[in-house]
Chains A and B, each alone.
Chain A
Amino acid sequence: MSHGAHAPSLVDRIDRIDRRWIFLAMFLAVAVPILWVGVTGRTFPETPTPAVQGAFDALESLPPGSKVAISMDFDPASAGELQPMATAIVRHCAMRGHSICAMTLWPAGGPIVDATLKDVLGGRPEYRYGENYVSLGFQAGNEGVMKQVNADMAAAFPTDARRTPLADLPVMKGIRRITDFDLLVSVSAGYPGAKEWVQFTVSATLTSGKPLRFVAGSTGVQTPQLIPYYPTQMAGILGAIKGAAEYEFLVNDAVRRADPAASIPARFQEAQRRMAPQLFGHVLMIALIILGNVVFFARRARGVQA
C-alpha cells in the first residue's frame, strides 16, 4: 500500500477519459444538427471552389444531347458521402438533356446505379430506358474493364444490366469505345475508381487519338490522391461531401435561375443538408484536440514541478 497517494486530479481524469464519452459527444454533434436540418430544412450557403466549378462547367458546357458515361464505383458503405454526388451529376445531365450511360466496377454498386437512375429520371417522362439512358450494371475485372473500354465497349459490356445487347440500344448508337462519349464521370470510393480511370483509360487518350474529358468525385481521404491529376487529366474534382454540397448548390442555383419559383425537393439537397453535422463534427474535433493539448501541457508542467 503506497502512502501519500492522492486522488487523480481533473487533468488526470480527463487524460484517461473513457473514449465512450468522446463517442457520445460525436454522436450528439452529428445527430442534433441532422434533426435541426430535418425540422427546419435550412442549409448553409456554399461557395464553389475552382475544382468543383470545373466539374460543373465540364457538364454545363456540353451541347444538349451529348453522351455522358457515369461510373458509380462505390458501395453502400460510402453512399453517405457519394450518393448525393452521383444524384447531383445525373440530375445535372437530365437538366441539360444529355444521354446517360451508367455503369459500376464494384460488385455491390449495381443496385446503387439502378436506384440513382430511378430516383432522378423516374419523374422525367422525356427519359426512356434504352433511348436516352441505360444501365450497363456491374462488370468484373477492375482495370481490365477500363483497358477494354478504350478499344471496344461491347467487349467489356456485351449487354446492359437487363441483358440487352448494346447494339440493340439506341442510346449506344455510335458508341464503339469510351472516347466516343463526350464526358466520363467517375464517382469513386477507392479501388477501382477515379485514379485507375486516369491511369488506365484517360491518360492513354491524351497521348494519342481523341482526348477523353474526365470529371471525378471521391471520398475525402481519396481526394489528395486525385489532386495531382487536376486540371490536366481531370476537368474537375468533387472532393468529399463538401464538394458534393458545392456541386449541388451550383445545380440548384441553375434550376432557380431558370425558374425562380421552382422548389427543390429535399432529396436533391442531401449534400448541403449534411454540411451542418459536418460543421459541428469538425468543431468538436478541434475542441478535442485543444483539450488534449491542454491536458498534455498541464501534465508536462506538473511533471517538471515534481
Chain B
Amino acid sequence: MSRSVAVLIASLAGITMVLSKFLVPLGDAEVKVADWFNVLAAIAFVLGGANLLKMNLLAISARGPGWGYSAVTLVAFLVTLGVGVLKAGVPPAAAFPDVPFSGEKDVAGSALWWLYEYAMSPITGTLFAMLAFYVASAAFRAFRAKNAAAIFLLATAFVVLLGRTYAGVLATSWIPHDNAWVSWLRLENLSAVIMSVFTNAGTRAMIIGIAIGVAATSLKIMLGLDRSYLGGTR
C-alpha cells in the first residue's frame, strides 16, 4: 500500500511538471512541486545530521582504523553548527542595535565567516587542485597508443593541450595568420576548430541520446513500470 502511494505521488508530480511546461493554467505548478522537494530535502538534513553523528560516534567508540578522522569530523560539525546557530561573533544589525541576533550569520568578522574564509575555502580549493595531480598520473598510466583510435585521440589531445597555451602559439607562429588556407593549422586555431566542430558534434549527439534516455527513464517512473528506486522490483 505504501509503495503504491509513493508511486502515485511520483507519477502525479512528474506528470504535473511535464504538463506545466505546456498548459498555461498549470504555469506555477512546476515551481511549487520543486519547492516541495526543496522543503523535504531541507528537513532531510536532520536525518543526515543524525546519521553522521551516529556513524562517527560508533567509529570513535570502536577505535577502528581512522577513528581520529571521525573525531575531527564530529568536532568540525558541532563547532560549525554551534557558531552558525548561535551567530557567534555577529554584531546586531545596524537597523536593530538592541536586538541580539539581528545580524547576518556570515557577516565579515563573525566566527562562521572566519571558518568559511580560513577553513572551508582553502580546503575545498586544495581538494579541487588535487585534480591536476590526478590528471597527470592518469595521463601517464592510461593514455597509451594501443590502436588507431587511441593514436588519433592522443594527437588531438596534444593539439588541444598546446593550443590552449602560449606554447602552441609559439610553435606555429611561422604559419601566416591572414592566409585562410593555412591559418587554421595554427595550433590555437586548430584547437578552437576541434572544440567548436568535432567536440561540438560529438557532444550534441551524446546529449540527444542522453535526453532520450532521461525521457525513457522518467516515463518508466511516471507510469509506475520501474519501482526499483523504492526498493524491490515491480
A-side interface residues toward B, CB under 8 Å? 17, 19, 22-23, 25-27, 30, 44-45, 47, 49-51, 75-80, 108, 110-111, 140-144, 147-148, 162, 223-225, 227-228, 230, 239-240, 242, 275, 278-279, 281-286, 288-289, 291-293, 296-297
A237 to chain B, nearest CB (A): 10
Stretch at the interface among B61-69, B70-78, B124-132: B124-132
Residues in A neighbouring B129, C-beta threshold 8 A? 80
Cβ-based interface call for B54 (8 A): no
How distant is the Cα of A30 from the Cα of B133 in the complex, in angstroms? 10
With most chain B CB atoms within 10 A of its CB, the pick from A25, A80, A143, A228 is A228
Check B34–A143 contact: CB distance below 8 A.
Answer: yes
Check A285–B124 contact: CB distance below 8 A.
Answer: no
Residue of A nearest to B165 (CB): A279
8 A-B contact pairs sorted by A residue (CB < 8 Å):
A19-B137, A19-B141, A227-B196, A227-B203, A230-B196, A285-B135, A289-B140, A289-B157
Grouping DSSP codes into helix (H, G, I), strand (E, B) and loop, the A interface class, with mixed when no group exceeds half, is helix
How distant is the Cα of A50 from the Cα of B189 in the complex, in angstroms? 10
Grouping DSSP codes into helix (H, G, I), strand (E, B) and loop, the B interface class, with mixed when no group exceeds half, is helix
Residues in B neighbouring A224, C-beta threshold 8 A? 195, 199-200, 203
Cβ-based interface call for B52 (8 A): no
With most chain B CB atoms within 10 A of its CB, the pick from A23, A75, A79, A285 is A285
Check A225–B166 contact: CB distance below 8 A.
Answer: no
Seed contacts A141-B34, A224-B200, A285-B139; 12 additional CB < 8 Å A-B pairs? A22-B136, A22-B137, A27-B133, A79-B121, A111-B106, A141-B35, A143-B34, A162-B104, A228-B203, A242-B165, A279-B167, A296-B145
Cβ-based interface call for B38 (8 A): yes
Check A281–B124 contact: CB distance below 8 A.
Answer: no
Q: Flag B180-206 by CB within 8 Å of A: 1 or 0 each.
A: 000000001000100110011001100
How distant is the Cα of A234 from the Cα of B16 in the complex, in angstroms? 30
Residue of A nearest to B33 (CB): A144
Check A227–B136 contact: CB distance below 8 A.
Answer: no
How distant is the Cα of A26 from the Cα of B134 in the complex, in angstroms? 10
Residues in B neighbouring A292, C-beta threshold 8 A? 139-141, 143-144
Check B137–A23 contact: CB distance below 8 A.
Answer: yes
How distant is the Cα of A291 from the Cα of B162 in the complex, in angstroms? 17
Residues in B neighbouring A17, C-beta threshold 8 A? 140
Residues in B neighbouring A147, C-beta threshold 8 A? 30-31
Residue of B nearest to A164 (CB): B95
B19 to chain A, nearest CB (A): 15
How distant is the Cα of A75 from the Cα of B154 in the complex, in angstroms? 32
Check B207–A228 contact: CB distance below 8 A.
Answer: yes
Residues in A neighbouring B140, C-beta threshold 8 A? 17, 19, 22, 288-289, 291-292
Check B35–A44 contact: CB distance below 8 A.
Answer: no
Residues in A neighbouring B144, C-beta threshold 8 A? 292-293, 296
Residues in B neighbouring A47, C-beta threshold 8 A? 169, 188
Residues in A neighbouring B113, C-beta threshold 8 A? 111
* A289-B140, A289-B154, A291-B140 as given contacts; A144 in contact with B34, CB under 8 Å: yes
Q: When the two chains form the complex, which single residue of B117, B139, B146, B165 contacts A289, counting CB atoms closer than 8 Å?
A: B139
Check A223–B133 contact: CB distance below 8 A.
Answer: no
Check B136–A288 contact: CB distance below 8 A.
Answer: yes
Cβ-based interface call for B220 (8 A): no
Complex A-B, nearest 9 residue pairs according to Cβ-Cβ distance, in ascending order? A76-B121, A44-B166, A77-B124, A77-B128, A279-B165, A288-B140, A144-B34, A19-B137, A282-B161
A209 to chain B, nearest CB (A): 14
Residue of A nearest to B120 (CB): A76
How distant is the Cα of A50 from the Cα of B128 in the complex, in angstroms? 29
Check B137–A77 contact: CB distance below 8 A.
Answer: no
Residues in B neighbouring A288, C-beta threshold 8 A? 136, 139-140
How distant is the Cα of A184 from the Cα of B117 in the complex, in angstroms? 28
